[in-house]
Amino acid sequence: MEEDTEGDRRRTQGKRMGQMLGGFQSDLSSISSEIHSLQEMSLAMNIKLKNRQTVRSELSELVDELIIPNNMINVILEVPVTDQQFVEQLQELNNKINYVKEQAFKDTQACADVQDTLQKLKIKAVAKVREFILQKIYSFRKPMTNYQIPQNALLKYRFFYQFLLGNERSVAQEIQDEYVETMSKVYLSYFKSYSSRLMKVQPTLRSKNTVFTVGNRAAIISPTELEGPIIVPHTAQKSDVRHYALLDNSCREYLFLSEFFLSNGLAAQELFNTVMGKTLSMFLKHIDSYVSDCFDSIAIFLCIHIVLRFKGIAQRRDIPAIDKYWDALLDMLWPRFQYILELNIQSIRNTDPQRLGNLDTRPHYITRRYAEFSSAIVSINQTFTNEKTNTLLGQLQGEVENFVLRMAAEFSSRKEQLIFLINNYDMMLGVLMERASSDSKEVESFQQLLNARTQEFIEEILAPSFGGMTAFVKESESLIEKGQQDRLKSEEARVAQLVRGFSATWKQAVEALSQDVMRSFTNFKNGTSIIQFDTYA
């Protein structure tokens, strides 16, 4: 009985525990559901918060951009455009105008409230900026103006043009057209006067022979001269200083157009051509007129190398604007240079020695002209080597060598012929070595000719006094080379006679030869060298 009661009690407790656990499970399930619900609510609240923050940020930006401060209005209306406040407020106004344009596409109603005010401020700003830029452009028209000063002033306020371009394109185009028209006329007028004054400071040639010599003209292609400072033209008449204004003005103008008018590439090139086109065409016509009547080939060749160097300077500055101008000049200068050289070649080829007057063993004036001319061209051509030039110089040298031989043939004796040849070869070699490098083809060629004729001359003058001795030496050398030394033993009597004769006469003969040599050769150094060869021989 007691056992049954205990069992019922335990079953009751177990049932109660099961009910309690079931309740806990139900509560846990409910809590989990509530937590999930809270998580969803939290996520939704976060999204709403972010949306509110985004809206607040956009509204704050919108409000900031749509508010037009009184300070901006006062500055735009009252402050001069050169004041830094005006520049800053103009940039801010530009930002607001662009922002309102953006919002207008989104149909933002609030923009309508400020559009009228912004439009009025824009009109006022455009008018003030337009007037300022036009006045700067008009200042270019004043005579003897340093154009770099107003250009630098415009570059300082280049945002003004950017503002016009973004807000009033018709005014921006007006500004550009006015600048282009003004500067085109200014440059054309200036460079017309400039070229006219330069022609008046041309050096006077002392004689027509000057065209065959370079003198100090080669200094014109030195870096110091090429990139020297630009001075006003009338100063050159006093100091004899040359001007190189076109390159610097062109480079500066191209950079200004690119920077101020916000252009690059083809657009910048076209804008530059509009500004400088008439000036460059004027120069081309002027140079063509000058070159067509010019027979100073060294001057033409110097012009070619000036152009080549200017072209290199422009490339280093990354200025392609005047490449076509340089090419047009070269197309004009090269054919003229070639034509003049071909005339010189033909002239020497057709020269008749018998019509040149009295014969003289001293260097001929034609060979001296050639030496001066050739050395000038070779020295100038060393930096920018041109095969066309080398070919023409080779033809000219060949004709000069033939001319010297024709002239030498007019002398009756071989000795006089050799003296004439040596004097001319020595003179041409000396002149060439002053300017050309020692390993140039011209120097090597005349050195070989001089050595060959000098050796022949030595043999020629030694023959009368020492002919027997010279002949015996040559015969002996030949026998030794053939391995027939034994045959020399039969020549003992001949050797003895030659030695006695040489001992008796060599001092007087050498003295006479020395005097004859020094009288025959115009170059003391060359004559001394030949005497030394004589003595050694």
How far is residue 123's CA from residue 103's CA, in Å, rounded to a whole number?
20
pLDDT at 255 over 90: yes
How far is residue 110's CA from residue 217's CA, in Å, rounded to a whole number?
75
Query: Quick one: tokens of 313?
Result: 């300077």
The per-residue pLDDT for 239 is 38
Instruction: Encode pLDDT of 123-171 as tens digits.
Output: 999 999 999 999 999 988 887 667 788 899 999 999 999 999 999 999 9
Residue 31 — φ and ψ, nearest 5°?
Answer: -65, -45
The per-residue pLDDT for 157 is 93
How far is residue 15's CA from residue 9's CA, in Å, rounded to a whole number?
10
More confident call, 286 vs 48? 286
Nearest to 288 by CA among 197, 203, 280: 280
pLDDT at 231 over 50: no
Residue 528 — φ and ψ, nearest 5°?
Answer: -60, -40
CA R_g for the chain: 48
Contacts of 71 (CB under 8 A, 6+ apart): 89
What DSSP element (H or E) covers 51?
helix 2-66
Phi/psi zone of residue 485: left (φ > 0), alpha (ψ -120 to 50 degrees), beta? Answer: alpha
Distances (CA, A) of 537 to 422, 450, 473, 530: 18, 18, 11, 10
Out of 148-152, 399-403, 458-462, pick the least confident.
458-462
How far is residue 46's CA from residue 37's CA, in Å, rounded to a whole number?
14
Q: Is 132:160 a contact under the CB 8 Å cutoff?
A: yes
pLDDT, mean of residues 242-250 = 73
Q: Is 258:341 a contact under the CB 8 Å cutoff?
A: no
How far is residue 195's CA from residue 327's CA, in Å, rounded to a whole number?
20
More confident call, 347 vs 115? 347
Query: Quick one: tokens of 482?
Result: 């053939």
Q: Using 50, 70 and 90 to split pLDDT, how confident is the model at 235?
A: very low
Out of 19-23, 194-198, 438-442, 502-506, pick the least confident.
502-506
Sketch the domain layout of the chain as residue ranges: 41-167, 168-347, 351-536
The per-residue pLDDT for 532 is 54
Average pLDDT, whole number, for the chain? 79
Q: Distance between terminal CA atoms of the chain?
A: 165
Per-range mean pLDDT, top range of 106-115, 220-229, 404-413? 404-413
> Within 10 A of 6 (CB to CB), how many other CB atoms are there?
10
pLDDT at 506 over 60: no
Q: What's the burial of 28, exposed, middle or buried (CB within 10 Å: 0-12/13-18/19+)?
A: exposed
Q: Using 50, 70 and 90 to split pLDDT, how confident is the model at 228?
A: low
pLDDT at 262 over 60: yes
Q: Which amino acid is at 413?
A: S
The per-residue pLDDT for 288 is 93
The per-residue pLDDT for 376 is 87
Q: Is 429:392 a contact under the CB 8 Å cutoff?
A: no
How far is residue 38's CA from residue 49's CA, in Å, rounded to a whole number?
16
pLDDT at 76 over 60: yes
pTM score:
0.72
Query: Quick one: tokens of 6?
Result: 């205990």
Out of 166-175, 218-227, 332-341, 409-418, pick the least confident.
218-227
Instruction: Encode pLDDT of 309-356 as tens digits.
Output: 899 989 999 999 999 999 999 999 999 999 999 999 999 999 998 888
How far is residue 285's CA from residue 329's CA, in Å, rounded to a whole number?
10
Using the structure block, give the residue that is written with the tokens 């490449």: 323
How far is residue 384's CA from residue 244's CA, in Å, rounded to a whole number?
20
For 412, the 3-state DSSP assignment is: coil
How far is residue 397's CA from residue 389's CA, in Å, rounded to a whole number?
12
How far is residue 6's CA from residue 341's CA, in Å, rounded to a whole number?
143
How far is residue 421's CA from residue 411's CA, in Å, rounded to a whole number?
11
How far is residue 129's CA from residue 80's CA, in Å, rounded to a whole number?
10
Q: Is 351:407 a contact under the CB 8 Å cutoff?
A: no
Q: Using 50, 70 and 90 to split pLDDT, how confident is the model at 52?
A: low
Q: Using 50, 70 and 90 to split pLDDT, how confident is the model at 522?
A: low
How far is residue 421's CA from residue 289's CA, in Å, rounded to a whole number?
42
pLDDT at 429 over 50: yes
pLDDT at 183 over 70: yes
* Count of H-run helices and E-run strands, the chain: 19, 0
Q: Using 50, 70 and 90 to split pLDDT, how confident is the model at 237?
A: very low
In degrees to the nearest 10, what's the CA dihedral of 224, 225, 227, 233?
140
The per-residue pLDDT for 385 is 79
pLDDT at 223 over 90: no
Query: Quick one: tokens of 226?
Result: 């090429």
Q: Using 50, 70 and 90 to split pLDDT, how confident is the model at 484?
A: low
pLDDT at 500 over 60: no
pLDDT at 244 over 70: no
The per-residue pLDDT for 141 is 86
